[in-house]
Amino acid sequence: MTHPAGSLLIAQDLRKTYGPTTALDGAEFSIHPGEVVAVMGPSGSGKSTLLHCLAGIVTPDSGSITYNGREVTSMSDSERSALRRSEFGFVFQFGQLVPELTCVENVALPLRLNGSSRKAAERTALGWMERLEVDDLRKKRPGEVSGGQGQRVAVARALVTDPRVLFADEPTGALDSLNGERVMELLTEAARSTNAAVVLVTHEARVAAYSDREIVVRDGRSRDMERVV
């Protein structure tokens, strides 16, 4: 399969097995800067494994993943974690905020880990919280905010380092439909405004409708519907 020129992240012929189970069986993927691509498919089809491979969290048994011209599969662990910290952002189904920290401290955390001063990090964090409409929660702890608010805080945290790729795995899975849609609206607006690419794993069509195109994963193989139809 050939990938369109200018792709930021490209995966080719990815294979991954867990014991007797084949999770990926020749999956392909590509995404441009500023593009939102939904990864769909039934549960157990391999879509989360694909996301984890693309994000450098899981190493495929074979196949290639190129990010910005660099081969991710041949990087050392520390190179891969540096890549994840500086270039990628993550949002999961449950916000996974640190319960002991306030919301603004949670959002500022990735910047602090990258060496920013507390003041500078929290100033940037607050800017992102304003964009996600949760700046009034700055002093609250995750346990004191609703699921929808917590997820917006998690989106702010994922975007605070200006990642080139945002990985979102069922980001609205735990939310009701109104809150889920608001999170998707704010997430896609924020990502588009910074030209970040979004890899969005979802089984919900209404969430996938916020994407530019979708790929479907079935039995570990992917199908790019835009290039099929």
What's the DSSP call for residue 123?
H
The window from 22-30, 84-92, 135-143, 198-206 that contacts other proteins (CB under 8 A) reads 198-206
Q: How far is the CB of 196 from other proteins (least distance, A)?
A: 19
- Range 202-221, binding other proteins (CB under 8 A): 203-206, 208-212, 214, 216, 218
User: What residues contact 149, with CB distance under 8 A and at least 6 apart?
Assistant: 134, 137
Rounded to the nearest 10 degrees, how much is the dihedral formed by the CA atoms of 65, 201, 162, 135?
A: -170
How far apart (Å, rounded) are the C-alpha atoms in residues 107 and 161?
10
Give the nearer residue to other proteins in terms of CB position, either 83 or 215.
215
Interaction of residue 170 with other proteins, rule CB under 8 A: no
Give the nearer residue to other proteins in terms of CB position, either 5 or 229.
229
Q: Describe the crossing of helices 118-131 and 177-193 by its angle, rounded to 10 degrees.
A: 120
CA angle 187, 189, 190 (to 5 degrees): 65
The phi, psi pair for 56, rounded to 5°, reads: 75, 20
- Range 9-68, binding other proteins (CB under 8 A): 38, 40, 42
Q: How far is the CB of 192 from other proteins (least distance, A)?
A: 12
- Range 137-166, binding other proteins (CB under 8 A): none
Residues of this chain that interact with other proteins (CB under 8 A) are 38, 40, 42, 185, 203-206, 208-212, 214, 216, 218, 223, 225-226, 228-229
